[in-house]
Structure 1
Amino acid sequence: MIRRTLATVPDTGLDDVRFGLILPCVEDEECRVQIGFAVPVSGAWATPANQVTIAQRAEALGYRSVWTLQRLLNPAGSPDLPYRNVADPLITLAYLAARTERVRLGVAVVNMPFVAPPVLAKQAATLDLLSGGRLDLGLGLGWMPEEFAAVGVPMERRGARGEEYLTVLRAPWTGEVAEHHGEFYDLPAVRMEPGPVQRPGPPILLGGAADAALRRAGRLAAGWVSSSRADLAALGRSVAVVREAAAEAGRDPDALRIVCRGPVRVRAAGLPDRAPLTGSVEEIRGDFARLAGQGVTELFLDLNFDPEVTGPDADPARSMERALAALEAFAPRG
């Protein structure tokens, strides 16, 4: 069994006891889960310089991936603080692609109804080309009425629209003539160049929590990505639905990627009724193995949903200190 060595933590000015940064050598069951890290994408700390710092440090520490998210618009006066100051996720990843070399670049998620499939096909292929084949493309259906109204797309029948969307999105990536005439999209005979590096295209990970969305991921995608609102103690049930749908479609369930967005809140140890990925570093590390036991294959740690990091009163410099300390403490060392 691979064992984990002691974490080496730089002097960040943080309270090492509070953050539990010195770890014992433990059985590394969580190495069954590949670890990624979300760059700053929400709040005052979400600056280009901070994004590059986190992405480059994550790459140096051996993280598999770095991640962004999409928030197109917020309703005026919205109290939805986790989605303030969010830049475009694909342009952000293109910027990070130029400043990194190996780490994979993920978005969780781009909402399909908000952009025409040929446009996203072109953007994704270009980003995959520029990054040397490092894009992981998470896709969703959207949920905020104001965003649907702003882009002029109805919310009704999002699932059916999404299934057809995937067909039209993938068609130009083949390099052959693509043509599609369907209920929602009409694509004349066209060819798109250049194509993506990854073949048959960037891996598509579908989001969603309803059974229909989970089954769609099992039938049609490279895997499933959970949302920030998912109950991390009960992911196993969703994973089972995804895997069952894959098997029924004649696909190998074991080949699916099950990606968990992990909203991390590093706090004192021993909190009553502690939620998964909240608490000391050692407690959170223990949650990695529990997520793996539910079928999670990849986990990316996301501080963008911690109000102490992204809230309106959070100090951006302090937020970066916390993020850099977390990067060191959770770094994969298998």
Structure 2
Amino acid sequence: MKLALYLPNFRDEVTLKELEDLTALAEDRDFDSVWTLDRICVPESSDRGELQYPFGMMSDLPNALPVVARGKWFQGMTLIPWLAAKTQKVRIGMSIIDTPYRSPGVLAAELATQDHLSGGRLNVGVGSGWMPEEFAAASVPQLFPRRHGHVRETIEIMQGIWSNELFEYHGEFADFPPSGFGHKPVQQPPPIYFSGLKDPKRSAKRIAKYGLQGWIGIQDSPEDIKRWKGEMERELGELGRGFPDGFDMCSMIWFVITDEPMDQTPAGKATNLLAGSAQQIEDILKRYKEAGMTMPLLWPPFRDVPTAKTIDDIKRLTEEIMPKVNAA
């Protein structure tokens, strides 16, 4: 099982030094990858619990973001070149790029440059977004009802631009004549991960058509991972296909090691999955491994857990817990 770090660039208050220290530790401990979070804004209505949908459209969570509107946080996309300069071997990406906030052609060209800046270490995560208020802040409220279609066209445009000297596209969200977009990525192509498409048939079609390299969920239990992987595998079989070699099953999961065991009674997406004693975390990581998860994205809590604590937890995880998990 590989490990990935979900950087806490989105929390009530975070400093560049904290992000730098966490990234350096992930690189030192041979993490597979470091990911940032995509967030355009926090509406003030979130502070009152009055968003149109619950966080992430997950019914178990409140109609609010876990960060205050006046919070001091950093934009995930802008951090990627900085992370490229700060590291040598760990892979980097953003989980997940909400494609409707960005022009597909511009995004494809910028990601190609990021892949060069990182020496071919870029992971590309794509998803549709979930918050109408954020679509309004990005000046694209009209795209909300068609956001999943926007993701599909963005994947097609990225792959077309990355693999052709000249490329043209005529679709619903982009329409341009044969054009060049500069350097192609170092990787041919960068791996694309997807999220937010809770339909195994459509997901399997995307994996088969575009050669997607991974799926990233949020706060998924081992049972969720086993069921979702099995359903996609079944649908791929119907298409006469299978998962691409090295396909990653991932989930962003809140992570903290506690002195005493935590109540891990199932409570939907609010369940303590990787929040608990060292023994609890070892046990559930073994269950994740058996269920088919290849890479958890360790997600430091949004508040109340200082970065120094997360650093200590990562050290303990890699030194004490993961050797037992990988030996299981």
Q: TM-score, normalised by structure 1?
A: 0.80
Secondary structure of 1:143's aligned partner: coil
Paired residues of 1:113 and 1:141 also in contact (CA < 8 A):
yes
Structure 2: how far apart are the matches of 1:272 and 1:60?
A: 32
Paired residues of 2:14 and 2:72 also in contact (CA < 8 A):
yes
Q: Offset at 1:111?
A: 0.4
Partner residue of 2:3 out of 18, 35, 38: 35
Structure 1: how far apart are the matches of 2:16 and 2:241?
A: 40
Q: Matched residue pairs, number?
A: 290
Secondary structure of 2:45's aligned partner: coil
After superposition, residues 96-135 of structure 1 pair within 5 angstroms as 96-135=83-122
After superposition, residues 9-158 of structure 1 pair within 5 angstroms as 33-79=1-47, 80-83=64-67, 84-150=71-137, 151-152=139-140, 153-158=142-147
Percent identical pairs in the alignment equals 28
Q: Which amino acid aligns with 1:37?
A: L
CA pair 121-299 structure 1, distance change in 2 beyond 3 A: same
Partner of 2:218: 227
CA pair 217-282 structure 1, distance change in 2 beyond 3 A: farther
Say whether 1:159 aligns with 2:148.
yes
* Structure 1: runs of 5+ lacking an equivalent: 1-32, 310-318
Q: Deviations over 1:66-115 (max 9, x none)?
A: 11110111212313343454422122121111011001112110101110
Q: Which amino acid aligns with 1:298?
A: M
Q: Deviations over 1:22-75 (max 9, x none)?
A: xxxxxxxxxxx1111122212245211111111111111111111111011121
CA pair 232-42 structure 1, distance change in 2 beyond 3 A: farther
Partner of 1:203: 191
Paired residues of 1:37 and 1:300 also in contact (CA < 8 A):
yes
Q: Offset at 1:254?
A: 5.6
Partner residue of 1:291 out of 267, 288, 292: 288
Paired residues of 1:175 and 1:192 also in contact (CA < 8 A):
no
Partner residue of 2:250 out of 259, 268, 288: 259
Secondary structure of 2:177's aligned partner: strand
Paired residues of 2:42 and 2:65 also in contact (CA < 8 A):
no
Paired residues of 1:175 and 1:193 also in contact (CA < 8 A):
no
Structure 2: how far apart are the matches of 1:174 and 1:322?
A: 44
Structure 1: how far apart are the matches of 2:175 and 2:129?
A: 21
Partner of 1:15: none
Say whether 1:308 aligns with 2:282.
no
Secondary structure of 1:82's aligned partner: coil
Paired residues of 2:12 and 2:73 also in contact (CA < 8 A):
no
Structure 2: how far apart are the matches of 1:189 and 1:34?
A: 40
Structure 1: how far apart are the matches of 2:12 and 2:273?
A: 26
Partner of 2:51: none
Q: Which amino acid aligns with 1:138?
A: G
Partner of 2:53: none
Q: Which amino acid aligns with 1:202?
A: P
CA pair 247-198 structure 1, distance change in 2 beyond 3 A: farther
Structure 1: how far apart are the matches of 2:231 and 2:73?
A: 32
Q: Offset at 1:263?
A: 1.4
Q: Offset at 1:217?
A: 4.9
Say whether 1:282 aligns with 2:270.
no
Computed over aligned residues only, the root mean square deviation of the Cα atoms, in angstroms, reads 2.1
Higher RCO (CA-CA < 8 Å; seq separation 6+): 1
Structure 1: how far apart are the matches of 2:243 and 2:217?
A: 17
Paired residues of 1:217 and 1:242 also in contact (CA < 8 A):
no
Q: TM-score, normalised by structure 2?
A: 0.81
